[in-house]
Amino acid sequence: MISITSSDVIKKPSFVTNPSDITFIEDAKKHVIKSVVLPYSLYEKIREQLEDELYLSQNREALSEHAQRAFEAVEEAYLEDQE
């Protein structure tokens, strides 16, 4: 894993266009990570998990607490079946 600033991206765009490792891009002034760049091969492996987490985070308020627990139980069983 490497950590770079946005000015590093301007100097060497291959950090973003052809990443060889997980790359954290941080705000140069505040030193806070703002973005993450993944190699596509890694993204392909974890894409479905990322999409599921994004869906849950975007719809957490829409699901009632009971429905959320039921969904997570079903999802957990599904993931166990996939292994």
Q: What is the pLDDT of residues 31-72, one digit of tens each?
A: 899 999 999 999 999 999 999 888 888 877 676 777 778 878
What's the pLDDT at 35?
A: 92
Mean pLDDT computed over 12-36: 90
User: Which residues face 2 on adjacent strands?
Assistant: 23
pLDDT band at 82 (very low <50, low <70, confident <90, very high): low
What's the pLDDT at 26?
A: 93
Q: Does pLDDT of 24 surpass 80?
A: yes
Cα 60 from chain centroid? Answer: 17
63: closest CA among 74, 48, 50? 74
